[in-house]
Amino acid sequence: MGMVIVFLTFFLLYIGQSLLLPLVIAGAVAYLISILAHAIGALRVGRFTVPGPVAMVLAIAVILLSLTYLVQLITINIQSVIRVAPDYQQNLEKLIYQWYSWVGVEEVPNIQEILKRLDFGAYLQSFGATVRALVSNTGIIIVYLIFLLLEQRTFPNKIKAIVRDPQRQADAFEMIGKMRADIRTYVGIKVLTSAATGVLSYLVLKIVGVDFASFWAVLIFLLNFIPTIGSIIATAFPSLLTLVQFDTLGPFIVTISVLTAVQFSIGSLLEPRLMGNRLNLSPIVILLSLGLWGSIWGIPGMFLCVPITVIIMIVCSYFPATRPVAVLLSGNGQVGSGVAGQRRTSTTEEN
């Protein structure tokens, strides 16, 4: 029965993509607004603090303006990259012939067939079509976003109506508050570390002189939401571009070395220290979720797969019945204390 329910759930997610994907994107944007409003409201200048409604308005303005800028930047740069993609492909073909001549290979394989299969312009057009499809759904996403933001005010009353006992109400609100804090911390840290990676990568690409540095920086920012695989792709794409843009190997060596160092420093050193057990996903779970959500919702699903899986793991860790699911999703079996850990602690204190 459980397997049937899971199968039907993902089947409904697949056939309901046009309805559910804008709702999920609106939910993600609403959560970003909530995190930013919480951060703005926590700022203090002496005794002055930003009122809650003002913090919410500022957060909405900042997030919407940032998303508008990112979409315009991606759309414009994709069109420019598509125009010059044939030139890059010709340069890549010449470079491959040079490499075969340096190695001393006399029979060169049919490079034209290989390059036809690696049609970079087609991949970029597919990515651009995804962005345009999301832009075309902007209206319905904004409608969902407005209702989600308004719905937050009625959520506590619904919990009180469902749970009548005052003690159980307090326990429910405490659990929800801790889950929201964990999810907020994960999303906030992930956005900050990905943004830091994108900014540092932009500076490196700009100094080297790589074309479309701002586009690659935004792509690196987005791909860093996909652990391991996203970092590899984010490093490989701009580094390979230097091979077909420049005549020497110097820019390629500098770009791939510095970008790898940036990805390693932030992704493998800084982020695990900040995240703790919140991003303790198993590598095989990441690969499976990437393929699963990518097949269901395409490119947007690939970007959303890891945040969705992490949130599922955090929520499952707070319930004894679903805690084994969180343990299976984790990389080393260590997850947050959750309700089970809290109950053990309270029992120990009573003893």
The rounded radius of gyration (Å) of the Cα atoms in the chain is 24
Q: Tokens at residue 53, please?
A: 């409604």
User: CB under 8 Å to 310, separation ≥6 — which residues?
Assistant: 186, 278, 279, 281
What is the C-alpha to C-alpha distance for residues 194 and 262, in angstroms, rounded to an integer?
11
Residue 278 lies in a domain: no
| Contacts (Cβ under 8 Å, ≥6 apart) of 115 | 89, 92, 93
CA distance 307 to 300: 12
* Cα dihedral 111→114→116→121 (10° resolution): -100
User: What is the tens place of the pLDDT at every residue in 147-202?
Assistant: 888 887 788 888 888 888 888 888 888 888 887 777 778 788 888 888 899 999 99
| Tokens matching residue 265 | 């420093």
* Domain housing 48: 20-153
8 A C-beta contact, residue 304 and residue 28: yes
User: How many helices and strands in the chain, by DSSP H and E?
Assistant: 15, 2
Per-residue burial over 113-136, b = 16 or more CB atoms within 10 Å of its CB, e = otherwise: eeeeeeebeeebbebbebbeebee
Cross-strand bridge partners of residue 281: 330
How many distinct structural domains can be found in the chain? 1
Are the C-beta atoms of residues 210 and 238 closer than 8 Å to each other?
Answer: yes
Q: Could you read off the pLDDT of 113-157 as tens digits, one per residue?
A: 555 555 555 555 666 666 666 667 778 888 888 888 888 778 888
Q: Would you call 201 helix, strand, or coil by DSSP? A: helix
| 114 domain-assigned | yes
> In angstroms, rounded to a whole number, what is the distance separating the alpha carbons of residues 92 and 341?
56
76 belongs to a structural domain: yes
pLDDT tens-digit series, residues 289-331: 888 888 888 778 887 887 888 888 888 888 888 888 888 887 7
pTM above 0.75, yes or no: no
CA distance 297 to 293: 6
- Residue 9 inside a domain? The answer is no
102 close to 239: Cβ distance less than 8 angstroms? no
pLDDT (tens digit, 9 = 90+) per residue, 189-202?
888 888 899 999 99
**What are the structure tokens assigned to 147, written together?**
């209702």
d(CA 235, CA 256): 7
Q: Is residue 316 part of a domain?
A: no
> 300 lies in a domain?
no
Exposed / middle / buried, residue 178 (Cβ in 10 Å: 0-12, 13-18, 19+): middle
Encoding tokens for residue 112? 């034209």
d(CA 74, CA 51): 34
Does some domain include residue 136? yes
Read off the pLDDT of residues 56-70 as tens digits, 9 standing for 90 and up.
889 889 888 888 888
Q: Is residue 185 part of a domain?
A: no
Whole-number average pLDDT of the chain: 77
Give 39's contacts (C-beta < 8 A, 6+ positions apart). Answer: 188
Question: What tokens appear for 118 in the block?
Answer: 């690696």
pLDDT at 350: 44
